[in-house]
Amino acid sequence: MSNHSLINTLLNERTCLKLLESIPLNDLKVVLTHVESVYAKKSAEALEEEKQKEMHLKKMENLLAEMEEAGIDVSELVNLEERTRKEKNRRPPRPPKYKYTTSEGEEKTWTGQGRTPRAIQEKIDNGLKLKDFLI
């Protein structure tokens, strides 16, 4: 019996009674003890979770009150976080390390990152070294 069908059986009064009536009294006491134990544990966990949520809410309310006393608006704080995040994510572009000429005669530069440009690769295949292209 899968967990889903067992849960459905226990939730339906008629099928639950039919199942439990077939169990001997001593075994039924053991089942009852297990169910009460699980119920007590889950109740305690739910109570603790509720307390944690309450404490978290009180902390947020206290912070909000402190911010209001300091004259700080919540939107300013959000804008500060967004601005900091944008600045943090940007890094300066890498300076080019290599200079080369394409087959069309166009001069280009390459930072050395990513795939080697075709023009440089062809010249390397023909015997030149990468250091020959250094700026």
pLDDT tens digits along 60-76: 999 999 998 988 888 88
Residue labelled with tokens 């009150």: 65
Within 10 Å of residue 120's Cβ, how many Cβ atoms? Answer: 20
Three-state DSSP class for residue 99: strand
Q: Are 84 and 122 in contact (CB under 8 A)?
A: no
CA dihedral (10, 11, 17, 19) in degrees, to 10, reads: -30
Tokens of 24: 């001997």
Whether residue 35 is predicted with pLDDT greater than 70 in this model: the reply is: yes
Q: In this predicted structure, what is the pLDDT of residue 85?
A: 64
Within 10 Å of residue 25's Cβ, how many Cβ atoms? Answer: 6
Phi, psi of 40 (to 5 degrees): -65, -40
Whether residue 27 is predicted with pLDDT greater than 80 in this model: the reply is: yes
CA dihedral (33, 36, 38, 41) in degrees, to 10, reads: -130
Global pTM value:
0.47
Whether residue 34 is predicted with pLDDT greater than 90 in this model: the reply is: yes
